[in-house]
Structure 1
Amino acid sequence: MLEPVVNFLIRIFRAIGRGIAWPFRWLWHCYLRANWIVQAVVGVCVVGFVALYGYFVWTTQVWTNFNPDYADAYGFEKRNVSAGEQVGDASSTSTTTDTAAAAKSCGRSAIADVAADLTDFNVNQNAWISSMLLYKLGFFGLSWDDTPFLDNKASFQRGINQAVRRTTTELADNLGRLRGTSQVDSDLQSARGNMQFDEYTWYFGLRPFGPKTPTPSYYRAAIKSLRTFNTRLEKCGAVFDARADNLIQFIDRIANDIGGTSAILKDRAENNSNGWLDPRADDRFWFAYGQLYGYYGLLKATHADFEDVLRTRNLDSLWKQMEEQTRSALNIQPFIISNGAEAGWIMPSHLITMGFYILRVRSNLVEISNSLSR
């Protein structure tokens, strides 16, 4: 009784298959009929296309040196000197001013070190996805950000970059200047400018038309500037103003930054709760994850750079609690990002979960800022 229906469906699917395969069969016959020069050119183009897409898929799926516990390798807890604090001076035993100056030693900025290393992770240890040609071309003209695949790493990298951008701005405007009134440090100013560069620039562009310097080159220049600053700081040739009011301003800016991300997650969760079928949920999630990934190391570095302020104000425990809550958010690594209803159990809301962790971290930052202000 069902046999006619089954046969009908089989014929339908066969017809669809022939319709899909027909253009490829036609192209294959044209290729076979062409002369060997055309065959060679087409063959090289096809192989190049496959290789290019193969490399693109590989770079988007392999996250080299990804490690949520990356900050542990710095051993910040063993430091007992604030950034810029002088720890060595042999002037009392030296006979010349030059010898005394050479013997000076000051604490490095852990913040500058982590900012440089995070950028190195983004553009040297991994390919910068957002400015790759195939990422810019999209999926048959559709932006990869509007698809549910091959864009998670790009969003993650941009989240880290957001944290580093905010940090380099604070380094140049406040932390790397004496009471905010001295001249802006040239290396920090260069790092800030380079980190503000557009995230999507390839070697060639249309607006304006012509060749361009790609995004990773600017970020690599920022790495060099941050490390040059730290080398000068270690020799007491630069300034890091580790005062309480600078710390307050820095953590307030971080709180505002992640607060904005929390609002984006909330808006997406409330207005596009389509479960696994929301193609932008993964972008929002991995951007927020990358931002917390970056700030986790930067906040631990801030603890080291302002260790005297936090110890004097008895805020070490509260700061460590905030670090632990930031780290706990990095345990959320779902295979597929779902943007379901808050009470859903088949398709949960990973955006709401990430937003909850972000608000916990922000709450701790606000509490620390209020304690420092008193």
Structure 2
Amino acid sequence: MLDPIVAFFQRVFSAIGRGIGLAIAFVLSPFVAIGAWFSGRSWIIKGPFGLLLIALVALYGYFFWQTQLWTNFDPDYVNRYNLAERKNDAGLPVKVPEGQTAPANSCERSAIVDVTADLIDFNVDQNAWISSMVLYKAGLFGLDWDETPWLDNKASFQRGVNEAVRRTTVELVDSLVRMRGTSGINAQLQSARSKMQYDETNWYFGLSPFGFLTPTPTQYRAAADDLRTFNTALSTCAAVFDARADNFLEFMDRIASSIGGTSAILRERSENYNGGLFDVRADDRFWFAYGQLYGYYGILSATGADFDSIIAERNLTPIWSESLRQLRKSLSIQPMLISNAREDGLFATHLATMGFYILRVRSNLVEMRDILAR
């Protein structure tokens, strides 16, 4: 009685096996053809071709290693700055213990600028910048790596961090270092902002426009140098940082808008695509959002140091501390595989979970903005 059922499943599994075999044969067929052609050639051809093949294997090995190695990734990186010990706004004369004489021309550095420069260093010096690597641009047989489940998580994370850095460099130029909007634009910060707007995917050579290019990491490194040059000038009181309430309000408003846009992207993907573990774009969205929060965790922690008096005077300390706590809590979500399932489904919904934390942080930022606007 069971024989027909057993035979049916045997046929099914046999068909699946043949299908997998045909798929593997299709993928390997170009390599088999190249190997057959190569075996019949002379050493004049085999030599250069073999060297090229070795170089290609080494290049792919380096590419794979860099996409999997996240050097100095640390959700608690903010602790290295000891920001809680600083009780002096950026740009003000350095405080010294009672009885001591403050050194001449010594002002407080901006923690925002320091953290922003260090985030750039983390992205392009401590780690390889994935998005402009030639093999990342080439994709998988012409298919964008972002359209696959592999080797794109670090690139998405880096772009998320970069989004936070870009927004901060814009706000530094437009408001944070200008005395009620009347002073001139700082040359170093303007240069940093321009460099951070550079295309994230540029390699040494491009097709559109055709010709040689400055690689993206080179531009970003120069932007970090500009930020550090500004902070050096600020520490000698040769530059200004205007830690006013309206500047703080505007900065919070811009960050709230930035992460609000990311929340909308997560919501759109979560609502319209419920592939669970088979949604190959869910990981891109998740790690971009994670990188953005990773960057803003440091930048907002630094903002609390640079605007300490404003936060204390307006009684924002409790809600400010809660915002940072929610940011840090969101960075504890580090799943090995990203699932974009239905909220009432069997699998986890990592996009919805990340979106929840983003909305909590944004809600706190909006509330602070409303308090400051009264």
Could you state the TM-score of these two structures normalised by the residue count of structure 1? 0.92
User: 2-side partners of 1:20 and 1:373: how far apart?
Assistant: 61
**Structure 2 match to 1:60:** 67
Confirm whether residue 253 of structure 1 aligns to residue 292 of structure 2. no
Partner AA of 1:45 in structure 2 = L
Structure 2 matches for 1:241-280, cutoff 5 A?
A: 241-280=242-281
Query: Is the counterpart of residue 108 in structure 1 residue 109 in structure 2?
Result: yes
Residue aligning to 1:357: 357
The aligned counterpart of 1:120 is: 121
For the 8 Å contact 1:88–1:105, the answer to whether it is kept is no
Distance 2:30 2:7 in 1: 31
Deviation, structure 1 residue 21:
5.7
Among 92, 106, 112, the residue aligned to 1:85: 92
* Separation of aligned partners in 2, 1:20 and 1:184: 56
Distance 2:304 2:69 in 1: 31
Distance verdict in 2 for CA 1:34–1:366, change over 3 Å: same
What is the alpha-carbon distance in structure 2 between the residues aligned to residue 274 and residue 25 of structure 1? 35
Tell whether the 8 Å contact from 2:323 to 2:365 is kept in structure 1 after alignment.
yes
Distance 1:15 1:344, change over 3 A: closer
Are 2:33 and 1:32 equivalent residues in the alignment?
Answer: no
What residue is the counterpart of 1:97 in the other structure? none
* Residue 286 of structure 2: aligned partner: 285
> Deviations for 1:301-338, whole angstroms, at most 9, x for unmatched residues?
00000001111122122211110000000001111111
Q: Retained in 1: the 8 A contact 2:67–2:130?
A: yes
Q: Deviations over 1:178-211 (max 9, x none)?
A: 1111100001101111111111111101111110
C-alpha separation in 1, matches of 2:118 and 2:26: 52
CA contact (8 A) 1:82 1:307 kept: yes
Q: Give 1:44's aligned residue.
A: 51
- Which residue is equivalent to 1:184? 185
Contact 1:88 1:103 in 2 (8 A): no
Moved more, 17-26 or 162-171: 17-26
Q: In the alignment, which residue of structure 1 is the partner of 2:78? A: 71
3-state SS in 1 of match to 2:94: strand
Please give the alpha-carbon distance, in whole angstroms, between the structure 2 residues aligned to 1:14 and 1:327: 44
| Counterpart AA for 2:360 | R
Deviation of 1:344 (Å): 1.5
Q: 1:257 & 1:342 partners in 2: Cα distance?
A: 25
Instruction: Report sequence identity in percent.
Output: 57
Contact map agreement 1:338 1:350 (CA 8 A) in 2? yes
Alignment CA distance shift 1:229-1:26 (3 Å): closer
Q: How do 1:254-333 and structure 2 match up within 5 A?
A: 254-333=255-334
Deviations 1:5-51 (A, max 9, x none): 67x94995797477766654443343222111211111111111111
Cross-structure match for 2:150: 149
Q: 5+ residue gaps in structure 1? A: 95-99
Tell me whether 1:194 sits opposite 2:201 in the alignment: no
Name the counterpart of 1:372: 372
Q: Secondary structure at the match of 1:178?
A: coil
- Shift of the 37–342 alpha-carbon distance from structure 1 to 2, 3 Å rule, reads same
Q: Which moved more, 1:272-281 or 1:294-303?
A: 272-281
Q: Tell me which moved more, 191-200 or 17-26.
A: 17-26
What is the CA–CA distance in structure 1 between the aligned matches of 2:308 and 2:167, rounded to whole Å? Answer: 21
Taking a change above 3 Å as real, the CA distance of residues 162 and 42 of structure 1, as seen in their structure-2 partners, is same
On the 8 A contact 2:88/2:95 being kept in 1, the answer is no
How many angstroms apart in 1 are the aligned matches of 2:146 and 2:302?
A: 32
Task: Tell me, in whole angstroms, the C-alpha distance in 1 between the residues paired with 2:195 and 2:186.
Answer: 14
Q: Which amino acid in 2 is paired with 1:82? A: D
User: Which residue is 2:233 aligned to?
Assistant: 232
Cα distance in 2 between the residues matched to 1:27 and 1:363? 58
**What's the secondary structure of 1:368's corresponding residue?**
helix
Question: Which one is further off, 259-268 or 38-47?
Answer: 38-47
Contact preservation (8 Å) 1:88, 1:104: no
- Aligned residue for 1:205? 206
| Structure 1 letter corresponding to 2:43 | W
Matched residue of 1:210: which SS? strand
Residue 20 to residue 64, structure 1, CA distance change in 2 (3 Å) = closer
User: Unpaired runs of 5+ in structure 2?
Assistant: none
In 2, are the aligned partners of 1:276 and 1:339 still within 8 Å (CA)?
A: yes
- Residues 196 and 219 of structure 2 are in contact (CA less than 8 Å); yes or no, is this contact kept in structure 1? yes
Task: Pick closer, same or farther for the CA change 1:189–1:14 going to 2, 3 Å.
Answer: closer
Paired amino acid for 1:77:
A
